[in-house]
């Protein structure tokens, strides 16, 4: 857990405001205790009768600045579980009913571990989450110790799968892959030589910005400013004024849409002509809404291929809208896939027992709405595609997709093979991940580019 | 060497941010001055003001009314809603506890803040709301620094409102009653001041200022969200403490100072320390100044009457 930076907001408490800390944590503790005791009663009744109700955990920020994204993930998981229930899934000879247990981690690492423990104690069969890297990484230790499979739809910090946990998986390309694509795209395609970088100091934003910086420097670009904000801020004029004084060709922001939107507005109001570039966190319709006119011409990247190009992607979009009467914000398709990957592993193992289906989760080869999902030996997505978008007419228009071609049959065979020894993952092994990155790099130079 | 235009721009940034802080800080400081209560729910009132204005503007979006009139109506409705919220909060949550130990209303204030925030979440949802653009955002160049019409309006309006409040408190009958209540509630009551009315009015006026500040934040940054009040409230509270809580000119000075310190801190801390500290220390910098001020002037920059309060 030491690798995760503490949340910035603790720095903001004033000498007097510290009074609300013990009170808040006390109420939380009481609430958690009540909730736990309530859970305890329910699950006792269920564990006895095999194949009755299977609880699936979901954790994301349901309150706070990223609540819109957190709810989006929850909806994605909910849709997958409801569809599975409607279709009817038989495991171990009996029909099972999936039940969603959704927890609010407030995008806060401390809260993330708290709800992780709550899910473990609530005897869920698996966890889909968390949304943020900052919450996913500390929570993954708790799931690993409990032997509980975890598939994160959207945590992209490479550390998540580098800890050697057998239980950690993700269905999205990580930030090493995304940072590389973004960095080489900025320098080689957008011809940006002087680049300013801003990040929100979260595990995600900082991680992506660091990888982006490495890639820019490797491609021969120059970093003229490196500035910071936090994931609750709305005023960026001070750092943007400093950025302006360095006259960059491009401004990169590692963080979420709730900051990216106002930032694009403010940078325009300050008269900076350089376009902005974001990772997946800024690649949302919410960004286009928040930035207004200032959205035009900016760039972003999103792991996976555009939903419209996926088989069943448009149809998924319509189903989602019909069920929840809201549009997809960002990660719902990934959350949907994550849930289906987990259900698929349970079907193949013919068991909802984490011990039984975890080895088969590693041997996944699943056609999801975001792409074909095959895990490497660390639980990372194999050969994840990354698509670049530009904002035109108030919408993100796909420019091109990098990587994500067919996975070589040998690699798939190796992946499906590997768990035969019990799914042991070598700690800190770089092999497959680097190959993956190379594949992406080759993608950028390939003829189809 | 520091380029002059960048420096000027940072001062402008700080002034705009500081004006907003100052308006919110007034709400904290007025209530504290009169009741000795830190109304932590004030940040949420600011948020409700911004979101109400968004709703009004969305309703009016299709109408043929001119933009300034729409803005005025949004301000009016938001102010009325916030005044009602402020009045209700005082009546329901604080008045019954007026003679309770001081910790009780403080905890209640935190509770009210959480309740208001979640009510707003239920009403306006979790999504961010775009604040409709009513004024052009093309910057005017003044001495190398850019400032938009809206930002000029924010600074001027904040100054006017604060001036008006000073007149109200120092020159009117109501203001005299407020000052008397602040000095000694019991004696003021014996002298014929309707204490309940004065305290309720203080909340109502503070909430109206909060509504205005909320609209300024929304318009300036283009967004409104149910969670926007907590951080803003915290910063404004800090500004009030910096200037001397309970003191009106102190809150204004504290707000503007905090805004300028934050801007200059974020803009120059990296260069000044040779990259050792970056703009991630922006807030640390602001609070470091606060600690320094409190060490040397425990009652804040313009705070007085320490002996009486202690």
From A62, A234, A245, residue closest to B3, measured CB to CB: A245
Q: Which residue from B112, B50, B45, B56 is spatially nearest to B83, judged by alpha carbons?
A: B45
Is A191 within 8 Å of A155 (Cβ atoms)? no
From A12, A238, A289, residue closest to B10, measured CB to CB: A238
CA B254 to chain centre: 11
pLDDT at A363: 93
Measured CA angle at A268 (ends A262, A271), to 5 deg: 145
Q: What is the mean pLDDT of chain B?
A: 89
Q: What are phi and psi of B147, to 5 degrees?
A: -145, 135
Q: What angle, rounded to 10 degrees, do the helices at B4-35 and B228-243 form?
A: 80
Residue B110 covered by a domain: yes
Determine, for residues A16 and B231 on separate chains, whether the beta-carbon distance falls below 8 Å: no
**With contacts defined as CB-CB under 8 Å, which chain A residues touch B133?**
292-293
The tokens for A305 are 């291929």
* Nearest chain A Cα distance for residue B112, angstroms: 13
What letters, b where the CB count within 10 A reaches 16 and e where it falls short, cover B25-46? bbbbbbbbbbbebbbbbbbbbb
User: Is it the case that residue A107 has pLDDT exceeding 50?
Assistant: yes
DSSP designation for A51: T
Q: How many distinct structural domains can be found in chain B?
A: 1
Is B103 within 8 Å of B31 (Cβ atoms)? no
Is A425 within 8 Å of A378 (Cβ atoms)? yes
Residue B292 covered by a domain: yes
User: Is it the case that residue B137 has pLDDT exceeding 80?
Assistant: no
Stretch A30-40: mean pLDDT: 47
Nearest Cα residue in chain B from A235: B221
Is A203 within 8 Å of A159 (Cβ atoms)? yes
Q: Give percent of chain A with pLDDT exceeding 70.
A: 80
Is B204 within 8 Å of B87 (Cβ atoms)? yes
Q: What is the ipTM of this complex?
A: 0.87
Q: What are phi and psi of A412, to 5 degrees?
A: -65, -45
pLDDT at B2: 66
Q: Give percent of chain B with pLDDT exceeding 90.
A: 65
pLDDT confidence of B267, banded at 50, 70, 90? confident
**With contacts defined as CB-CB under 8 Å, which chain B residues touch A13?**
234
pLDDT at A8: 42
For residues B209 and A310, which has the higher predicted lDDT (pLDDT)? B209
pLDDT at B275: 74
- Locate tokens 């001055």: which residue? B33
Residue B5 covered by a domain: no
pLDDT at A6: 43
Q: Which residue from A127, A106, A66 is spatially nearest to A338, judged by alpha carbons?
A: A127
Determine, for residues B38 and A9 on separate chains, whether the beta-carbon distance falls below 8 Å: no
Determine, for residues B13 and A238 on separate chains, whether the beta-carbon distance falls below 8 Å: yes
For residues B48 and B145, which has the higher predicted lDDT (pLDDT)? B48
pLDDT at B304: 62
**Would you call A98 helix, strand, or coil by DSSP?**
strand
Determine, for residues B146 and A261 on separate chains, whether the beta-carbon distance falls below 8 Å: no
pLDDT tens-digit readout, A429-438: 333 333 344 3
What is the Cα–Cα distance from A324 to A78, expressed in whole angstroms?
10
What structural domains and CATH numbers belong to chain A? 48-173+308-375 (3.40.50.2300), 174-303+383-449 (3.40.50.2300)
**With contacts defined as CB-CB under 8 Å, which chain A residues touch B40?**
17, 20
Residue B4 covered by a domain: no
- Asked if the C-beta of A17 comes within 8 angstroms of chain B's C-beta atoms, the answer is yes
Weakest mean pLDDT among A176-190, A399-413, B76-90, B182-196? A399-413
pLDDT confidence of A7, banded at 50, 70, 90? very low
From A16, A19, A68, residue closest to B241, measured CB to CB: A16
User: Is it the case that residue B87 has pLDDT exceeding 70?
Assistant: yes
From residue A353, give the alpha-carbon distance in Å to each of A45, A51, A373, B223: 16, 10, 22, 46
| Selected residues 190-209 of chain A with any CB under 8 Å from a CB in chain B | 201
Residue B2 covered by a domain: no
DSSP designation for A186: I
DSSP designation for B138: P
pLDDT confidence of A416, banded at 50, 70, 90? confident
* Nearest chain A Cα distance for residue B236, angstroms: 11
The tokens for B226 are 């149910």
pLDDT confidence of B297, banded at 50, 70, 90? confident
From B127, B146, B294, residue closest to A271, measured CB to CB: B146
Q: Which residues pair with A103 in a beta bridge?
A: A59
User: Is it the case that residue A411 has pLDDT exceeding 90?
Assistant: no
Determine, for residues B146 and A268 on separate chains, whether the beta-carbon distance falls below 8 Å: no
* Nearest chain B Cα distance for residue A170, angstroms: 26
For residues B221 and B85, which has the higher predicted lDDT (pLDDT)? B85
pLDDT confidence of A27, banded at 50, 70, 90? low
Largest CA distance in chain B: 63
Q: Which of A425-434, B171-180, B273-282 has the highest mean pLDDT?
A: B171-180
Determine, for residues B121 and A15 on separate chains, whether the beta-carbon distance falls below 8 Å: no
Q: Which residue from B214, B18, B161 is spatially nearest to A237, judged by alpha carbons?
A: B18
Residue B98's domain is classified under what CATH number?
1.10.3470
User: Is it the case that residue A372 has pLDDT exceeding 90?
Assistant: no
Q: Which site among B115, B137, B148, B221 would you substitute to test the A interface, given the most A Cβ atoms closer than 10 Å to its Cβ?
A: B221
pLDDT tens-digit readout, A89-103: 988 888 999 999 999
User: Is it the case that residue B162 has pLDDT exceeding 80?
Assistant: yes
Weakest mean pLDDT among A160-174, A245-259, A418-432, B96-110? A418-432
User: Is it the case that residue B45 has pLDDT exceeding 90?
Assistant: yes
User: Is it the case that residue A448 has pLDDT exceeding 80?
Assistant: no
Determine, for residues A67 and B227 on separate chains, whether the beta-carbon distance falls below 8 Å: yes
pLDDT tens-digit readout, A327-366: 898 999 999 999 999 999 999 999 999 999 999 999 999 9
The tokens for A22 are 């013990």
Q: Which residue from B287, B310, B290 is spatially nearest to B301, judged by alpha carbons?
A: B290
Largest CA distance in chain A: 68
pLDDT confidence of A25, banded at 50, 70, 90? low
Q: Which residue from B240, B236, B192, B179 is spatially nearest to B46, judged by alpha carbons?
A: B236
Residue B6 covered by a domain: no
From residue A132, give the alpha-carbon distance in Å to each of A163, A204, A278, A346: 17, 7, 16, 25
Weakest mean pLDDT among A57-71, A218-232, B258-272, B279-293? B279-293
What is the Cα–Cα distance from B169 to B177, expressed in whole angstroms?
9
Q: Which residue from A179, A206, A177 is spatially nearest to A380, judged by alpha carbons?
A: A177
The tokens for B303 are 């705070």
pLDDT at A92: 82
* Nearest chain B Cα distance for residue A149, angstroms: 29
**Would you call A128 helix, strand, or coil by DSSP?**
strand
Determine, for residues A266 and B126 on separate chains, whether the beta-carbon distance falls below 8 Å: no
Count of beta carbons in the 10 Å neighbourhood of residue B249: 14
The tokens for B239 are 């500004």
CA quadruple A390, A393, A396, A402: dihedral positive or negative? negative
pLDDT at A31: 53
**Proportion of chain A in helix, strand, coil states, percent, rounded to 5:** 50, 20, 30
pLDDT confidence of B1, banded at 50, 70, 90? low
pLDDT at B138: 77
**Would you call B23 helix, strand, or coil by DSSP?**
helix
Determine, for residues A235 and B40 on separate chains, whether the beta-carbon distance falls below 8 Å: no
The H or E element containing residue A252 is strand A250-254
What is the Cα–Cα distance from A302 to A386, expressed in whole angstroms?
6
Q: What is the mean pLDDT of chain A?
A: 83
Q: What is the dihedral of CA A92, A96, A98, A99, to 10 degrees?
A: -120
From B228, B231, B278, residue closest to A227, measured CB to CB: B278
For residues B281 and A67, which has the higher predicted lDDT (pLDDT)? A67
Q: Which residue from B26, B13, B16, B22 is spatially nearest to B206, judged by alpha carbons?
A: B26
- State which residues form the domain around B273: 13-309
From B3, B146, B267, residue closest to A270, measured CB to CB: B146
pLDDT tens-digit readout, A116-144: 999 999 999 999 989 999 999 999 999 99
* Nearest chain A Cα distance for residue B147, angstroms: 8
């Amino acid at each position: 857990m030491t690798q995760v930076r503490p949340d910035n907001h603790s720095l903001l408490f004033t000498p007097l405001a510290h009074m609300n800390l013990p009170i808040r944590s006390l109420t939380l503790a009481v609430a958690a205790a009540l909730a736990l005791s309530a859970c305890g009663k329910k699950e006792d009744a269920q564990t006895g009768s095999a194949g009755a109700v299977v609880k699936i955990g979901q954790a994301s920020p349901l309150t706070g600045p990223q609540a819109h994204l957190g709810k989006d993930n929850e909806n994605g998981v909910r849709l997958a579980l409801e569809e599975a229930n409607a279709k009817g899934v038989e495991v171990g000879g009996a029909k099972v009913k999936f039940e969603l247990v959704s927890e609010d981690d407030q995008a806060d690492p401390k809260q993330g571990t708290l709800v992780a423990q709550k899910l473990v104690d609530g005897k869920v069969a698996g966890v889909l989450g968390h949304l943020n890297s900052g919450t996913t990484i500390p929570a993954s230790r708790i799931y690993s110790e409990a032997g509980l499979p975890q598939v994160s739809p959207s945590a992209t910090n490479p550390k998540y799968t580098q800890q050697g946990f057998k239980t950690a998986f993700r269905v999205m390309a990580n930030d090493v892959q995304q940072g590389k694509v973004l960095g080489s795209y900025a320098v080689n395609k957008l011809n940006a030589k002087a680049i300013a970088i801003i990040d929100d100091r979260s595990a995600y934003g900082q991680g992506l910005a660091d990888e982006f910086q490495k890639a820019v420097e490797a491609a021969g670009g120059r970093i003229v400013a490196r500035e910071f904000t936090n994931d609750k801020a709305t005023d960026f004029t001070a750092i943007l004024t400093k950025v302006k004084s360095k006259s960059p060709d491009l401004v990169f922001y590692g963080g979420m849409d709730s900051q990216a939107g106002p930032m694009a507005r403010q940078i325009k109001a300050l008269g900076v002509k350089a376009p902005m570039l974001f990772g997946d966190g800024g690649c949302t319709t919410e960004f286009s809404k928040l930035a207004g006119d200032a959205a035009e011409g900016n760039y972003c990247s999103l792991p996976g291929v555009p939903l419209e190009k996926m088989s069943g992607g448009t149809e998924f979009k319509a189903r989602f809208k019909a069920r929840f009467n809201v549009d997809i914000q960002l990660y719902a398709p990934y959350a949907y896939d994550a849930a289906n990957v987990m259900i698929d592993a349970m079907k193949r193992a013919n068991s909802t027992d984490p011990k039984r289906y975890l080895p088969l989760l590693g041997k996944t080869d699943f056609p999801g709405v975001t792409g074909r999902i095959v895990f490497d030996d660390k639980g990372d997505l194999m050969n994840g595609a990354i698509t670049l978008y530009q904002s035109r007419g108030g919408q993100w228009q796909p420019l091109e997709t990098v990587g994500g071609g067919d996975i070589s049959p040998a690699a798939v065979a190796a992946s499906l093979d590997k768990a035969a020894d019990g799914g042991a993952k070598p700690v800190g092994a770089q092999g497959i991940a680097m190959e993956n990155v190379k594949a992406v790099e080759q993608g950028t130079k390939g003829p189809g580019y | 060497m520091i380029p002059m235009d960048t420096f000027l721009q940072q001062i402008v940034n700080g002034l705009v941010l500081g004006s907003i802080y100052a308006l919110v800080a007034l709400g904290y400081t007025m209530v504290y001055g009169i009741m000795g209560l830190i109304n932590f729910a004030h940040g949420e009132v600011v948020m409700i003001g911004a979101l109400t204005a968004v709703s009004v503007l969305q309703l009016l979006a299709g109408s043929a009314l001119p933009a300034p009139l729409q803005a005025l109506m949004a301000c009016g409705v938001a102010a009325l809603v916030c005044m009602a919220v402020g009045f209700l909060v005082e009546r329901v949550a604080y008045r019954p506890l007026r003679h309770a130990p001081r910790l009780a209303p403080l905890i209640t204030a935190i509770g009210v803040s959480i309740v208001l925030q979640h009510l707003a979440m239920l009403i306006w949802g979790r999504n961010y709301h775009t604040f409709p653009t009513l004024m052009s955002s093309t910057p005017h160049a003044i001495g190398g620094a850019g400032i938009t019409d809206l930002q000029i309006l924010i600074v001027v309006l904040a100054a006017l409102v604060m001036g008006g409040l000073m007149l109200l408190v120092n020159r009117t009958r109501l203001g005299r009653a407020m000052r008397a209540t602040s000095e000694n509630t019991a004696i003021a009551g014996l002298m014929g001041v309707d204490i309940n009315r004065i305290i309720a009015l203080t909340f109502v006026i503070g909430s109206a200022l909060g509504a205005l500040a909320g609209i300024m934040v929304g318009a300036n940054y283009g967004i409104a969200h149910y969670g926007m009040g907590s951080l803003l409230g915290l910063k404004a509270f800090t500004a009030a403490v910096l200037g001397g809580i309970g003191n009106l000119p102190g809150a204004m000075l504290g707000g503007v100072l905090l805004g300028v310190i934050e801007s200059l801190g974020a803009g120059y801390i990296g260069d000044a320390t040779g990259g050792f500290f970056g703009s991630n220390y922006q807030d640390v910098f602001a609070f470091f100044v606060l600690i320094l001020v409190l060490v040397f002037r425990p009652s804040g920059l313009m705070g007085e009457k320490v002996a009486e309060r202690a």
